[in-house]
């Protein structure tokens, strides 16, 4: 784990098991308790062409929004036959997503459980296997709905969570269902023109109370991953953290004023990604780039199954 103190630009090479030593009693560690679903489906159009679906969001028992990859985009009314004999109908479009309906008697959850595949990141060039649904999860993920794991949380096991608790570092949870848009690169030269993907987020009144209590006691809010940062800062856009339930398309980029998060734990991200833009906004562009060059030189592992980075920001960033 690389530790970046952005106040001094100091970089330190540590191990993830050192995390409890780097946090303080009373700090509030906030994690994303979403759980990855087997959201990738394969099948054929009624005309015979192959299709690949990626469920982006479950809307109801029988309805979902999804990406569809095929030789030609299916039109409303088109039928699709999935592996295992399951069937669905395309009923409309919402921007680049398709709204689909599973046939009567078939639920989205049931079909995914029977025929779905784990949607591994696009830079993992293999099909999923039986172990991926367990490996590509955090140990505390309990709310199904994500199509990508909140990967900063993959470093945690029950032992380190217990060590954090023993030291008096509290844990709390929000839910943000990570969408496939997390892998989309920045396409606009001007960052202000980039259109961020929307993801469902839920922050409870209980979490709000715990954050306010921690800050009132002079303690820090430690966000585990960029999804937690986006969720908390979405709910704090009005100036104070409030309970929140709904979509967020907040794009955090350099110049953003952070209102809630004090410390961030994250992985190392793809270049030209919204995730790296968020890290640069939090840690400072020059400081973050220096840390990345150091990580490359020291052969840190990048991306979803890679190593961790702990950022302590400049005071004016809060």
Sign of the four-CA dihedral 168, 7, 241, 199: negative
- The pLDDT of residue 316 is 47
| Residue with tokens 């595949």, as numbered in its chain | 117
β-strand pairing of 199-203 with 2-5: unpaired
**Max alpha carbon distance in the chain (Å)?**
64
Residues in the chain predicted with pLDDT less than 50, given as ranges, are: 316-318
Could you check whether 2-36+133-317 and 40-115 share the same CATH topology?
A: no
Domain boundaries, the chain: 2-36+133-317, 40-115
Domain 40-115 has CATH 1.10.357.10: no
Specify the 3-state DSSP secondary structure of 34.
strand
Stated pTM of the model:
0.91
Specify the 3-state DSSP secondary structure of 158.
helix
Q: Tell me if 304 sits within 8 A of 154, measured CB to CB.
A: yes
Which DSSP symbol is given to 273?
B
pLDDT tens readout for residues 209-265? 999 999 999 999 999 999 999 999 999 999 999 999 999 999 999 999 999 999 999
Q: What backbone phi and psi angles, to 5 degrees, belong to 197?
A: -70, 150
Q: Tell me if 259 sits within 8 A of 208, measured CB to CB.
A: no
- The pLDDT of residue 65 is 93
CB-based burial, 186-224: b 16+ in 10 Å, e otherwise? beeeeeeebeebbbbbbbeeebbebbeebeeeebbbbbb
- The pLDDT of residue 315 is 58
What do you get for the CA distance between the two ends of the chain, in Å? 23
Give the CATH H-level superfamily of domain 2-36+133-317. QueA-like (3.40.1780.10)
Q: Tell me if 261 sits within 8 A of 221, measured CB to CB.
A: yes
- The pLDDT of residue 194 is 60
CA distance 81 to 67: 16
Q: Tell me if 122 sits within 8 A of 69, measured CB to CB.
A: no
- Closest among 128, 151, 132, 129 to 141, alpha carbons compared: 151
């Amino acid at each position: 784990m690389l530790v970046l103190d952005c106040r001094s630009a100091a970089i330190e090479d540590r191990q993830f098991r050192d995390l409890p030593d780097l946090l303080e009693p009373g700090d509030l560690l906030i994690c994303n308790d979403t759980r990855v679903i087997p959201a990738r489906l394969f099948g054929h159009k009624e005309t015979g062409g192959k299709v690949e679906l990626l469920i982006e969001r479950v809307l109801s028992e029988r309805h979902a929004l999804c990406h569809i990859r095929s030789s030609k985009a299916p039109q409303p009314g088109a039928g699709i036959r999935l592996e295992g004999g399951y069937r669905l109908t395309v009923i409309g479009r919402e921007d680049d997503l398709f709204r689909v309906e599973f046939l009567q008697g078939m639920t989205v959850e049931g079909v995914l459980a029977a025929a779905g595949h784990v949607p591994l990141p696009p830079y993992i060039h293999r099909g999923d296997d039986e172990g991926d649904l367990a490996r590509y999860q955090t140990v505390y993920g309990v709310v199904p709905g994500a199509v990508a794991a909140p990967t900063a949380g993959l470093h945690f096991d029950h032992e380190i969570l217990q060590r954090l608790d023993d030291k008096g570092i509290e844990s709390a949870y929000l839910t943000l269902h990570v969408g496939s848009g997390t892998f989309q690169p920045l396409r606009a030269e001007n960052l202000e023109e980039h259109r961020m993907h929307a993801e469902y987020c839920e922050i409870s009144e209980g979490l709000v109370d715990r954050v306010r209590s921690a800050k009132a006691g002079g303690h820090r809010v430690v966000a585990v991953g960029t999804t937690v940062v986006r969720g908390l800062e979405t709910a704090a856009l009005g100036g104070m953290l409030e309970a929140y339930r709904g979509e967020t398309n907040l794009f955090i980029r350099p110049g953003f004023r952070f209102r809630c998060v004090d410390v961030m734990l994250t992985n190392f991200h793809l270049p030209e990604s919204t995730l790296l833009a968020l890290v640069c906004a939090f840690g400072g562009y020059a400081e973050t780039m220096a840390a990345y060059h150091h990580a490359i030189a020291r052969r840190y592992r990048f991306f979803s199954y890679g190593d961790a980075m702990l950022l302590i920001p400049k005071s004016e960033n809060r």
